[in-house]
Amino acid sequence: MSRTAEELREDLKQRVRETNWVGPATEKQVGYVCGLLGKIVGIGMPGDMARHQLLDFLFGKSSSKNLTKGEANALIDWLTDPEHSVSEEVYAALGAWGAEHGQMEMPL
């Protein structure tokens, strides 16, 4: 099951609101989020940039170190949920981030 980028963003924000977990994410949560995203977008410069763009699109945060416990937990739940096409949703969200920042899709 795949959601649009906007649906994904709203679903994750709703999960955060429902948990009421406050405070900064733990180092372990941050590492796990980065590892899970690294499996999808890669590790190193291009992957790091994609991870930062994804977090900016989803939560308005440019670094995983700025996530709250609730945001990190919502990401972990989503990234480990076999019911969703996580890779498709990640790339849809990255495309939506690009559109919000004036990047245009190039026709092939």
Write the pLDDT tens digit of every residue in 70-93: 999 999 999 999 887 888 999 899
What is the pLDDT at residue 29?
97
Q: What is the pLDDT averaged over residues 46-72?
A: 93
Measured torsion, CA atoms of residues 35, 31, 51, 108, in degrees rounded to the nearest 10: 0
Question: With 0-12 CB in 10 A as exposed, 13-18 as middle and 19+ as buried, what is 37?
Answer: buried
Kindly report the pTM of this predicted structure: 0.86
The fraction of the chain above a pLDDT of 70, given in percent, is 94
- 107 part of a folded domain: no
- 60 part of a folded domain: yes
- 80 part of a folded domain: yes
- 15 part of a folded domain: yes
- 108 part of a folded domain: no
Cβ atoms of residues 37 and 76 within 8 Å: no
Q: What is the pLDDT averaged over residues 15-32?
A: 93
Domain total in the chain: 1
Per the structure, the complete domain to which residue 61 belongs is given by 5-98
- 77 part of a folded domain: yes
- 103 part of a folded domain: no
- 104 part of a folded domain: no
